[in-house]
Structure 1
């Protein structure tokens, strides 16, 4: 949690933020104790250490590594997250649930089915390890599938209808579901060679089908527990689409697929084990571990304290702190809503204190936290997925993201500043803020970020750069009171595993959707539809692509939102002749901004929960604060220089004019330029803003003329009485 520690000015503490980057417990996340807790902690440490070791020291075969990554995430997900919300003490209800006759039957079926399936897989592996038998008796794999499937369904049903609501206990069926994940993984890895050749074809074996089906069910269940129903429902719709194709009209129609072909195809590197999991098993978990090291060494607290020291006294200071701090934390955090909860618990109450309305406080934090997903060099996880999907070097993507990210955060900053001016706000008192000169003495805490950026652009691989930055975070901690010894390093490894569970599940679930798109060819047909629209008007085609990207991303974590949009929308934009980098940035921005787009705006809802405001009003307000992000992608289309493509003078010209246009846009939205603007003048200024943003010489001249004209008008021709009549 976070605390504010006011102190007298002459003895002000350099600490205002403490533990701002700690992951808040989910409502269904268990808090275990005793030996059970130590066992789960040990599994978490092993999970993270396994990934770091494989990436740096002992590479594994691709399918093997990704299967271990997914199955390990599923096992930890079932142990750490309950099927329903938990309480600190609900022993009586737990015992009654366990003794219910139906639950006893479900548990018995689950134990028998999963136990048999696991035993058959274990028998096959034992024969291979101890006797060198590579082909076990036919009955071993012919008989394991149906019991494993039935047992898994029974275990899931027991968790749904008879959950253990005590936070300190693990439902017996969750142990069984973890065992089911291991059995599913064991079968696929034992037969990985043949499965590569026959998956998704008529040669697929019934055992392949049952293992893949169990794997899909387990992924959907863990995703439901850690990320909510939205992504599960969307994945379910795509799965149904695979079978309903022959009955659908128009471009949605396809020939349909048998369950055997569909599920075996989905559990290959074209689906579950495809690009999203490839990224989550390497870059994402590496940078989550980096974030855990920063958290353990308290560097995250330093970022927020530094922002408070730099901007806390300015008008609307806490809001400006939110812009800076949430940008820094959000690029590492990987989830917009999670970052809102982490930093917003400190910044939102302080924003309300200096005069921001509750809905504005929650909206500013949501807009700033979502912007962290587009902030280089880490960009949440989007940059890594984009590099994997497009084949464009990661460093090129990071460079291309600089100007759009600066424009976005400049826009939010302008919005915040203009609202503070309009409402006559002030900043926080000096005696309640950290001392800037004291924090400058710890500026070396930025070294891990500097090393990360330097090594990336010095030609190191992303994995090597992330590992070096992780080590740097541990080393710089030795210069602070929070020195990282062996215990702290193990704690960081544990935190990394717990923080990665959501993204592992989300990426695996996104892989299901991506696999459906690849199998059915709906992405190609969508491209054809976009081309048809573009024949009439290319701008309408882009608007249509924007709407699809936002709708696909609603209610989904950023990583899954981009992965799905990249599979559905980006190919269509590329078919219009838009360069791949521009097309993918286009959909990436709207996938990210779906977190603050009504009516389903997860980041805004998280901000509303902390500010006490109405969620829908907060989401509308956050949309307003993040409006620049809905304009910037169209700037990519009109000017490649926005993505650092072209001559330096073109890039400089576009950056300067776009920055001025962004300021005009913020002023038009807030209704304050150099004084209040009435509705007519706000529309005029918005037109000038769009002219500056487009990047042409004529439109720039028109936009600049409008801005200068309004400035002269407000400064020389409007008296106080006329200003007072201005409408907001």
Structure 2
């Protein structure tokens, strides 16, 4: 969101002796706001209006979470309503008008003005209903709810959504159909706020529930689905539509998919409660996610992201294939904070991918490395995107326990990606970056205090502070630390950070609310328990078969979906079944979480890989296949949770240490087998032996570890002997 047609913040040209000069830095613009193709660039009073709304939205959450807490359902309804208003103001429902596309005719504007009348009328009715309940009335007449609120609201919402799909105009202007949708969002949320603060709240899901709740929920669900389409694409919307169709088609389906059925009134009176949209996904987005988005916005406003990437270049740029190793470090760190694989690819990949190509990586490899590293950020403690918080909310396991359990798997994943990159660089004889191509480490290390907000966050969490308190302290420290750098955060920068946070939060809030619809269908129809019975039956034949089936379902549910929604859905469908077959809740949820995360690099629908292919210029499918190969460890590690619980810090320290070390060595052998390099080129038979050794060491048993270690030592000695005097190949593929 920008007050002019230029959507990039101006670079601060100031320098001091502690900072590298422009010629000594690599990263520029990592912290700049990413502007999507359908996002408006408002100007004049429109920019000021939505910038003020975004600042107010972020401030509302900070105050509610730390100073003045609201009733839970009311807080979550306002949280979603604010995102809907900001979302419809900032994201268009159709392509913008340009030289090739003419603006929509005036008839659409006039029709929008016609639709605005019933939308405003329903909003006025909400005010009248509030006054009625303030006068100690017990309920509203059903005819009034239907004809003066429900029917006009649903009809107007549907008509405005359909009109917005074809409404094209300049990028700097608001769309009249979207203004109608903003009013509908206010009316729908306003009604729910009124009703949920009366005794009628207890009637949801019964025949006594006012139909007005169902009308408001239908309109609210439509608004959520349409905003999700605009900010996250069609995949999640299509999956949600399939689940909604199941609610009414389920009674006619055969086998384990059939269920007795729910009426439209009964279902929708419950779906906009904590059984669905206001449930775990929105609980997390309205507390932890929004807080860490504000934290990330403060880091961006203080240009800490540029420093992180420059520090990575200074530390790892000289190694062979240096830019790829920088991508692993920088993208993992940034991805941990921002919580979206594809978004992180766009922000850091625009810098790292061209540099990887420059030192010799093929386009598909450069894009795949960035996609794999950005995806790995979602499993990197302590933040893990948003997954750790959702897992804590769903399972009741303390957040710190989840963060500690994630440590060894994250190390294994990034070790795998690192060695895949290193062995490919060795095989192709790639160089590192020259001294004149990277910043000076001696200068950057003087500003290592810019890591302080991350350190404060971690220390506060493990000192026992709540996640909200720790996140707030880290956010405040980001502003304080900036005062020691050239990018000092004054009142204007703080307001800019709050505005960025409000804008950045739209996508993840829409996604979480949309995932809440799916979670509501699962919980209200009982399809999750029937899926658990299916897994239990499979486990009677083989637990490995049940795990493989759960893996496939988790990946399928996650394809094309952001990580947060993918895990929330998989946790509702798959995790209960795994728990029923005897797997502990922590292992079960980590299992589905990992596969929900790696769906971003799993062909044929790999969002992170496709985003990277767009930057690298490579074929999207080739990039996704290569990223799948680079991130192969992530498809193996979850099975290690089951066979070696010590991988999740469950067991004695001796067991944990042994499993961690042997699994790491197994990961090295796996990378060597995939990349055909182990202290020199590896022939086909040796690659098979390396794969066998990797499987033995990853499996985790004592005898299998010894066998894998023996294979590794023998091949190491053979390779060292045969590679003496040989030079690495410089062939490029």
Shorter chain as denominator, the TM-score bin is over 0.9
Check conservation: 1:14, 1:305, Cα contact below 8 A. no
- Are 1:598 and 2:607 an aligned pair? no
Check conservation: 1:113, 1:152, Cα contact below 8 A. no
- Are 1:332 and 2:337 an aligned pair? yes
Q: CA deviation at 1:140?
A: 4.8
Q: Which residue of 2 aligns with 1:55?
A: 65
Q: Distance in 2 between matches of 1:385 and 1:604?
A: 25
Check conservation: 2:112, 2:180, Cα contact below 8 A. no
Q: Which residue of 2 aligns with 1:166?
A: 170
Q: CA deviation at 1:298?
A: 0.9
Check conservation: 2:321, 2:431, Cα contact below 8 A. yes
Q: Distance in 1 between matches of 2:732 and 2:508?
A: 46
TM-score (structure 2 length as normaliser): 0.94
Q: Distance in 2 between matches of 1:160 and 1:127?
A: 37
Q: CA deviation at 1:715?
A: 2.5
Out of 184, 197, 208, the residue aligned to residue 188 of structure 2 is: 184
Q: Deviations over 1:515-543 (max 9, x none)?
A: 10001111111111111111111111101
Q: Which residue of 2 aligns with 1:203?
A: 208
Q: Which residue of 2 aligns with 1:32?
A: 42
Out of 116, 123, 127, the residue aligned to residue 121 of structure 2 is: 116
Out of 346, 350, 358, the residue aligned to residue 353 of structure 1 is: 358
Q: CA deviation at 1:704?
A: 0.9
Q: Give the 3-state SS of the residue equivalent to 1:442 in structure 2.
A: helix
Once superposed, what is the RMSD of the aligned Cα atoms? 2.3
- 5+ residue gaps, structure 2, are 1-7, 14-19
User: For 1:9-28, what aligned pairs fall within 5 Å after superposition?
Assistant: 13-28=23-38
Q: Give the 3-state SS of the residue equivalent to 1:591 in structure 2.
A: helix
Q: Which residue of 2 aligns with 1:43?
A: 53
Q: Distance in 2 between matches of 1:361 and 1:467?
A: 36
Check conservation: 1:19, 1:295, Cα contact below 8 A. no
Out of 139, 142, 145, the residue aligned to residue 141 of structure 1 is: 145
Q: CA deviation at 1:138?
A: 6.7
Q: Which residue of 2 aligns with 1:151?
A: 156
- Are 1:81 and 2:86 an aligned pair? no
Q: Distance in 1 between matches of 2:215 and 2:732?
A: 65
Check conservation: 1:408, 1:626, Cα contact below 8 A. yes
Out of 378, 387, 399, the residue aligned to residue 394 of structure 1 is: 399
Q: Which residue of 1 aligns with 2:102?
A: 93
Q: CA deviation at 1:112?
A: 2.9
Q: Which residue of 2 aligns with 1:385?
A: 390
TM-score (structure 1 length as normaliser): 0.95
Check conservation: 1:679, 1:727, Cα contact below 8 A. no
Q: Deviations over 1:243-285 (max 9, x none)?
A: 1112212111111211111111111100000000000000000
Q: CA deviation at 1:21?
A: 3.1
Q: CA deviation at 1:119?
A: 1.6
Check conservation: 1:118, 1:179, Cα contact below 8 A. yes
Check conservation: 1:106, 1:157, Cα contact below 8 A. no
- 5+ residue gaps, structure 1, are none
Check conservation: 1:12, 1:434, Cα contact below 8 A. no
Q: Closer, same or farther in 2 for the Cα pair 1:217/1:648, shift >3 Å?
A: same
Q: CA deviation at 1:374?
A: 0.3
- Matched pairs, number: 717
Q: Distance in 2 between matches of 1:562 and 1:614?
A: 28
Q: Closer, same or farther in 2 for the Cα pair 1:92/1:420, shift >3 Å?
A: closer
User: For 1:669-708, what aligned pairs fall within 5 Å after superposition?
Assistant: 669-708=674-713
Check conservation: 2:363, 2:616, Cα contact below 8 A. yes
Check conservation: 1:196, 1:268, Cα contact below 8 A. no
Check conservation: 2:142, 2:210, Cα contact below 8 A. no
Q: Distance in 2 between matches of 1:604 and 1:423?
A: 23
Check conservation: 2:679, 2:723, Cα contact below 8 A. no
Q: Distance in 1 between matches of 2:84 and 2:728?
A: 61
Q: Distance in 1 between matches of 2:120 and 2:235?
A: 32
Q: CA deviation at 1:354?
A: 0.2
Q: Closer, same or farther in 2 for the Cα pair 1:41/1:127, shift >3 Å?
A: farther
Q: Distance in 2 between matches of 1:476 and 1:115?
A: 47
Q: Closer, same or farther in 2 for the Cα pair 1:191/1:722, shift >3 Å?
A: closer
User: For 1:426-441, what aligned pairs fall within 5 Å after superposition?
Assistant: 426-441=431-446
More deviation, 174-183/715-724: 715-724
Q: Give the 3-state SS of the residue equivalent to 1:441 in structure 2.
A: helix
Q: Which residue of 2 aligns with 1:72?
A: 82
- Are 1:479 and 2:489 an aligned pair? no
